[in-house]
Amino acid sequence: MISIQRKFEVSIKIINKNNSSSIITYFLIKAPDNIMKQSSQRLGKGMIYVAWLFMLGVLTLLFNHFLDKQNNPNQDLSTQYKPDGTREVILQRNRSGHYVANGTINNQPVVFFLDTGATIVSIPELIARRLNLRQGTPMRVNTANGTITTYSTRLEHIALGEIELEGVRATINPYMETEEILLGMSFLKHLEFTQLGNKLILRQYP
């Protein structure tokens, strides 16, 4: 507002010296035009910034999705049914050489990390809370980093694709800092699994 007032004050002084009405018209019309141009330029720059931020957000989402697919190529599992009723799920190995896949525990979505070296399904404590799992008897477990205390629990329902089991033993591990659940042999021992190149074939017989 101050800049506009100064322009009109200058125009009046010039008018008094030159007695020219044309100068009056020039200043009264041109001053608003300059303001409009400045406003348009600012608006244009603002729109460019918004467009760049939007593009950056989209690229970030696409990149994160790409990384997620690289880590977990088994997000949409399909189950094949054989004539005898056998259920078969095929997993693709990720870039790190591991098998990571989406599944469910008690009908809630989770991410599994298959570990045939683990004797039991192991669930990070934060995920166990989200799943409302009951924390049972404490157990001392020897790990590479020393002895820790975990807690027994039992999963009412666990599924990988349409391969489903009920009443599976598991542990709640307060020291696991990951979003993935170790899918150990308390689940896998009920299945037949075959390694074929970069694929792992899981079968559940009726």
Q: What is the pLDDT of residues 69-119, one digit of tens each?
A: 679 999 999 999 999 999 999 999 999 999 999 999 999 999 999 999 999
Specify the pLDDT at position 68: 52
101 and 131 assigned to the same domain: yes
Specify the pLDDT at position 27: 44
31 and 61 assigned to the same domain: yes
Rounded-to-integer distance, Cα 77 and Cα 34, Å: 62
Question: Considering the entire predicted model, what is its pTM?
Answer: 0.68
9 and 30 assigned to the same domain: yes
Q: Residue 28's domain spans which residues?
A: 2-71
CATH code of residue 171: 2.40.70.10
Beta 180-183 vs 168-173: how paired, if at all? unpaired
Rounded-to-integer distance, Cα 66 and Cα 8, Å: 59
Specify the pLDDT at position 54: 64
Q: Categorize the per-residue pLDDT at 66 as very low, low, confident or very high, splitting at 50, 70 and 90.
A: very low
More confident residue, 179 or 4: 179
Q: Categorize the per-residue pLDDT at 23 as very low, low, confident or very high, splitting at 50, 70 and 90.
A: very low
57 and 93 assigned to the same domain: no
87 and 46 assigned to the same domain: no
Specify the pLDDT at position 37: 65
Last residue of a domain, one of 52, 71, 90: 71
Q: Are 87 and 162 in contact (CB under 8 A)?
A: yes
Q: Categorize the per-residue pLDDT at 9 as very low, low, confident or very high, splitting at 50, 70 and 90.
A: very low
Rounded-to-integer distance, Cα 151 and Cα 165, Å: 21
**In the block, which residue shows the tokens 């696409």?**
62
Tokens matching residue 37: 């141009």
